[in-house]
Amino acid sequence: VQLQASGGGLVQVGDSLRLSCAASGHTESSYALGWFRQAPGTERLFVAAIAWRSGRTYYSNPVKGRFTVSRDNAKNTVFLQMNSLRPEDTAVYYCAAGLFTIDYTTNYYSPVVYDDWGRGTQVTVSS
């Protein structure tokens, strides 16, 4: 699966931004789509994920209530709506796909279980 993330940019504290991740190639309905982020000098951290088939969503604690992950099956696209952005949200955001049933995978938050990665998109939140 090829993934292309877009939608990053420079915003102010409290602003909103929507990231998109377009998937192409051999997509499967059992795929899990995840969003991760990585700030300079830090490890890549889980942000959110969605089960491609069921639409069930998962979030990390720092973004819960502010970010929303969704999908458009017809367009093979996953979105990450980010509201009430904070300076600590500044990072490169990556989308990833994994051929596993996320609803039955306890370590869905780990980058190692994802098979395919897109190029990141920079999100900068200025105070």
pLDDT (tens digit, 9 = 90+) per residue, 68-91?
999 998 899 999 999 999 999 999
Per-residue pLDDT reduced to its tens digit, 15-63: 999 999 999 887 666 689 999 999 999 999 999 999 988 899 999 999 9
- Measured CA to CA in angstroms, residue 60 lies from 13, 46, 63, 65, 76 at distances of 20, 6, 6, 10, 23
* Pairwise CA distance, residues 125 & 127, whole Å: 7
- Which pLDDT does position 101 carry in this prediction? 85
Mean local confidence (pLDDT), 90-105 = 91
Is the confidence at residue 11, as pLDDT, over 90?
Answer: yes
> Can you give the three-state secondary structure of 68-110, one letter per residue?
EEEEEHHHCEEEEEECCCCHHHCEEEEEEEECCCHHHCCCCCC
Alpha-carbon gap, residue 50 to 104, rounded angstroms: 13
Quote the distance between the C-alpha of residue 68 and its chain's center. Answer: 9
